[in-house]
Amino acid sequence: MMKKMSISTSKTSLVLFLCQIISALDVPLDSKLLEELSQPPTITQQSPKDYIVDPRENIVIQCEAKGKPPPSFSWTRNGTHFDIDKDAQVTMKPNSGTLVVNIMNGGKAEAYEGVYQCTARNERGAAISNNIVIRPSRSPLWTKEKLEPNHVREGDSLVLHCRPPVGLPPPIIFWMDNAFQRLPQSERVSQGLNGDLYFANVQPEDTREDYICYARFNHTQTIQQKQPISVKVFSMDSLNDTIAANLSDTDIYGAKPVTERPPVLLTPTGSTSTKVELRGNVLLLECIAAGLPTPVIRWIKEGGELPANRTFFENFKKTLKIIDVSEADSGNYKCIARNTLGSVHHVISVTVKAAPYWITAPRNLVLSPGEDGTLICRANGNPKPSISWLANGVPIAIAPEDPSRKVDGDTIIFSHVQERSSAVYQCNASNEYGYLLANAFVNVLAEPPRILTPANKLYQVIADSPALLDCAYFGSPKPEIEWFKGVKGSILRGNEYVFHDNGTLEIPVAQKDSAGTYTCVARNELGKIQNEVQLEIKDPTMIIKQPEYKVIQRYGQVSFECIIKHDSTLLPTVVWLKDNDELPDDERFLVGKDNLTIMNVTDKDDGTYTCIVNTTLDSVSASAVLTVVAAPPTPAIIYARPNPPFDLELTGQLERSIELSWIPGDENNSPITSFVIEYEDALHEPGVWHYQTEVPGTQTTAQLKLSPYVNYSFRVIAVNKIGRSQPSEPSEQYLTKSASPDENPANVQGIGSEPDNLVITWEPLKGFQSNGPGLQYKVSWRQKDVDDEWTSVIVANVSKYIVSGTPTFVPYEVKVQALNDLGYAPEPSEVIGHSGEDLPMVAPGNVQVHVINSTLAKVHWDPVPLKTVRGHLQGYKVYYWKVQSLSRRSRRHVEKKILTFKGNKTFGMLPGLEPYSSYKLNVRVVNGKGEGPASPDKVFKTPEGVPSSPSFLKITNPTLDSLTLEWGSPTHPNGVLTSYTLKFQPINNTHELGPLVEIRIPANESSLILKNLNYSTRYKFYFNAQTSVGSGSQITEEAVTIMDEAMASRQVDIATQGWFIGLMCAVALLILILLIVCFIRRNKGGKYPVKEKEDAHADPEIQPMKEDDGTFGEYSDAEDHKPLKKGSRTPSDRTVKKEDSDDSLVDYGEGVNGQFNEDGSFIGQYSGKKEKEPAEGNESSEAPSPVNAMNSFV
């Protein structure tokens, strides 16, 4: 089991490592490939630089690394080799570099103090850890000293010095009394950063003999106590009494009354001081003043503002706290102490220095033989850090020479590398405040091609859809990829294929003839390999009979059809939905093979029903609406709520029970199902009725339980299926005797509202629950796991009590017990609460971002130690914002986005990113108090995506054979535009589309003149933009070239000829005569022999049509249902529409249905249909020109 876990961890580590590679080679994350590739060592885990250990426990110095082959480990101590085999107390974990020093079996921690460094080495190089300084923690005892009592006059200032022993790490200081209770602090009395207790002015109540300073050493979990300090405050009244007792009546006596004093600073002293803090740390500035009245402290920054969101005031505004300081926070900070008599100020000059921090940390390089590369190591700090390089842990100046390597300050340049150039390089950036050490390897690989896609993999796609055939590969140098179709086919080329950099072959529109065997060949100078895949093309799934709109009467039956056609090799599944949700779980809904039937329809069945057909490759759907209408009304019995009960009577009165009886009212055609009994407490809540119980409708008496000290009256409500009756008249009143409480408050909680308090809350007992007069509560608490005695206090009938002076966020046991004048309630149960939370202290570390695609990234971080959360861990917040678009290089207003991840989660996804953009993010831990400090900003970039559609497409300057196109670039290019694609095709009079022409246009063009077009022809244009990722969405437009002027004039000439006008008049007269003859014969009772004449002619193209199926009247036969012949355009007025264009604008808007915009562009007529709609009645849809009239009789 352990062996399996080790192998899995190694694989995971290697995958994570390869995700971070920035190199000339892309290494696919294929597990089999990863196991075979050589890799220099990489340190994956190590102990902190400053490592303070518990002297009572074993010392574990971590050093974990990965590599191929697995690395070996060695250590240095204080700069010299540390021979582990010669020290019996030291062991190294198997397959690891982690050292374990056995202290618990006789070793002494002090003997192992020093500076340790780990080296992980294999045949490809050596990686080194940081210098790990090991120091055992110390918690020394307080030095003995004789403390004199402090005698202070009322109103004077006082400082009680703590002077704790110097420990490692420094202790936490707090003041308590002999009862281990925190001494209350305020604006007048507070603890300084050095642990001293400051009194701005002493008062008589400050007199006590148990001021005790405690030092808590968290590392060893020990607390040291200083000897108690005594303070005696002399008030002016007592001093005057003493003087009066020793003086005669004639003497003038009396001490001066307490005099008010202006502020004086107790700390810091003088008018100015200086403070140096490191970048990223917390800056703490303190001002504590004496004076009477107690001074109030205010902070300002000279020449600037205190930083928003990072500034906090603590210790009653005596401490200014600025988190995550930077060089911009340097400056003069002034504290002003003020009372009614004046003010005093102090200026603290703050200088922010900086230990080294990364600007660009070196990244691992994976190169092919003969390639070039660079390692860049850039850091900043104050003062500016110096950069030094090491190779395999040895200073590069004395390391073995490599002719491919050249060091140029913070950069190492590699040229024409060979396999022997593989090594691990260390960059050290240091100044007087610290150092940074980073390992980065150069791994030179020479590998023949490998194809990672499984052999004979089968791809299935729907016809007319894109097909993507994978050929995942790896090799060093990078192989070239070629595709062939068939066993002996030629290499694939041309616009009908797209070849992706990752080896994938894309067929944008796969047809039936695209099916077959495709061969992928990968070759480099070290070899060649090939792989075959299979492509099958399937017919699309279609719904050939869709569900139709239905109107059904209530309680009727309805059926929806859904008949489908699909590829015979695909298995379809049909799902029905109602209003985009599952069908109700109701046996009335019957799902058949091709239909859905609903029996006994009700109003709730009204809605939209959708048939969804799914196969493994595609999905289609169709919907129809069902409207349910009311059935004809029928007379119904009138049902109503029951009448209220009456004649209530109380019998069998006891201390805790009574019997209630009543007479039911009329049930009003609906049987009574139950009776609801309510009570009123006239003693505690007069006029408020409460639920007591409910009994069946067949019952007219009820035995009721009673509580002590309640003045009861009752009422009864009858219930049937229609509703509830009005309440009955109240019964007589009955007062029960008092008793001690039966129960304790519910919902007891202990939650601190401030870092130094515990707020105990509960739900008070209701009036009748008190069981008697004088209701109070006994509140008890004690710190959990400390073996303290319970501290208790009795409070009035309230709902909370605040315990002050508690440690920050520690567990407490809490209980609340009710009592009244007659005694206590039963012993309450204990609940666990916590004292107040404080803001988290530490920011999440090791924040890493993995960009998944152009709009999605994954962020990882290390969880903060729970002890630094100082409260209930609620989760982590990720703040991220876009810095700039990489395509425009223009900054904009920064709008930060926040994502919250609940719980102890260490990763999250960032959706909705904009492609080809630079982002920053940081992570903060959140508790109930708020957010902790932010992690350092992490910069990441999203890759390119496909662009949006061009912002506009205008078509201007139409001529006989040309059009001018103008366009705007996409609003969101999402990358670097590489080109535009223009496709266009003609549209004839029947709106059928002609052949499609495609033109590729450079990205820097914004207009194009299309020439050699047909005159008087409508064209449809499709236009989109491309980046290196692919094509964006397209924009479409239509335009018409102008017609030949000569032909237009010929049409006009024909329409104005006299013979043509005479012919039209004769035809109109003949039609009028025929209509009169038909009318006369019908009035005579004869039957116009249309049927016989139609049978004689037998021409289906001139059959009269009914309104619903294409024929008029009753004259129809089987031929009537045949469709018109292809090309026929015969409307109901028996005029024949012409098939070919007559080169006029009649078809585009001069008739009934057409119109033009104000700018002359055509609207309204073209709708993508195959033919025009016939006009209503006998009106022709053509314009009334002589030309059209002539054409209708041709």
User: What confidence tens digit (pLDDT) does each residue in 1049-1079 have?
Assistant: 454 455 556 777 888 888 998 999 988 888 8
pLDDT exceeds cutoff 70 at 1048: no
* Whether 379 contacts 388, CB under 8 Å: no
Separation between Cα atoms, residue 421 and residue 371, nearest integer Å: 11
Separation between Cα atoms, residue 1053 and residue 1138, nearest integer Å: 19
For residue 80, the Cα-to-chain-centroid distance in whole angstroms is 51
* Averaged confidence pLDDT in the chain: 84
* Predicted pLDDT at 1090: 40
And the tokens for 1149?
A: 């808007």
* Whether 986 contacts 1019, CB under 8 Å: yes
Range in 81-90, 154-163, 249-258 the model is least confident about: 249-258
pLDDT exceeds cutoff 90 at 749: yes
pLDDT more than 90, % of the chain? 63
* Predicted pLDDT at 1101: 36
And the tokens for 281?
A: 């740390």
Q: Is 1165 helix (H, G, I), strand (E, B) or coil?
A: coil
Q: Using one digit for the tens of pLDDT, what is the confidence trace for 899-947?
A: 999 999 999 999 989 999 999 999 999 998 899 999 999 999 999 999 9
Range in 3-7, 599-603, 674-678 the model is least confident about: 3-7
- Residue 11's φ and ψ, nearest 5 degrees, are -60, -45
pLDDT exceeds cutoff 70 at 146: yes
Of 1092, 1122, 1099, the C-alpha closest to 1110 is 1122
pLDDT exceeds cutoff 90 at 135: yes
pLDDT exceeds cutoff 50 at 779: yes
pLDDT (mean) for 152-173? 91
Range in 248-257, 327-336, 513-522 the model is least confident about: 248-257
Mode of pairing for the β-strands spanning 342-360 and 331-339: antiparallel
Residues 300, 306, 312: CA angle, nearest 5 degrees: 95
pLDDT exceeds cutoff 70 at 1185: no
What DSSP designation does 105 have?
A: T
* Predicted pLDDT at 839: 92
* Predicted pLDDT at 635: 64
pLDDT exceeds cutoff 60 at 1126: no
Q: Using one digit for the tens of pLDDT, what is the confidence trace for 630-664?
A: 877 766 678 899 999 999 999 988 888 999 999 99
pLDDT exceeds cutoff 80 at 30: no
Beta bridge partners of 956: 964
* Whether 924 contacts 917, CB under 8 Å: no
* Predicted pLDDT at 246: 55
With cut-offs at 50, 70 and 90, classify the pLDDT of residue 1016: confident
Range in 570-579, 987-996, 1108-1117 the model is least confident about: 1108-1117
With cut-offs at 50, 70 and 90, classify the pLDDT of residue 34: low
* Whether 519 contacts 492, CB under 8 Å: no
* Whether 1003 contacts 1024, CB under 8 Å: no
- Residue 895's φ and ψ, nearest 5 degrees, are -110, 105
pLDDT exceeds cutoff 60 at 1115: no
pLDDT exceeds cutoff 60 at 560: yes
And the tokens for 608?
A: 């939209």
For residue 1121, the Cα-to-chain-centroid distance in whole angstroms is 60
Instruction: Report DSSP letters for 797-865, one per residue.
Output: S-SEEEEESPPTT-EEEEEEEEEETTEEPSPPPPEEEE----------EEEEEEEEETTEEEEEEEPPP
pLDDT more than 70, % of the chain? 84
Q: Using one digit for the tens of pLDDT, what is the confidence trace for 855-907?
A: 999 999 999 998 899 999 999 999 999 998 887 755 566 788 999 999 999 99
With cut-offs at 50, 70 and 90, classify the pLDDT of residue 491: confident
And the tokens for 392?
A: 């395999």
Separation between Cα atoms, residue 95 and residue 84, nearest integer Å: 15
* Predicted pLDDT at 233: 94
Non-local CB neighbours of 465 within 8 Å, separated by 6+ positions: 509, 510, 618
Range in 215-219, 502-506, 628-632 the model is least confident about: 628-632
Q: Is 348 helix (H, G, I), strand (E, B) or coil?
A: strand
pTM: 0.48
Q: Using one digit for the tens of pLDDT, what is the confidence trace for 110-122?
A: 889 999 999 999 9
* Predicted pLDDT at 244: 54
Separation between Cα atoms, residue 170 and residue 139, nearest integer Å: 9
* Predicted pLDDT at 167: 85
952 vs 104, higher pLDDT: 952
User: Is the peptide bond between 293 and the residue preceding it cis, with omega within 30 degrees of 0?
Assistant: yes
Range in 93-107, 809-823, 1091-1105 the model is least confident about: 1091-1105
pLDDT (mean) for 43-51? 94
State which amino acid sits at residue 1060.
F
And the tokens for 674?
A: 């139950």
* Predicted pLDDT at 151: 93
With cut-offs at 50, 70 and 90, classify the pLDDT of residue 218: confident
* Predicted pLDDT at 143: 82
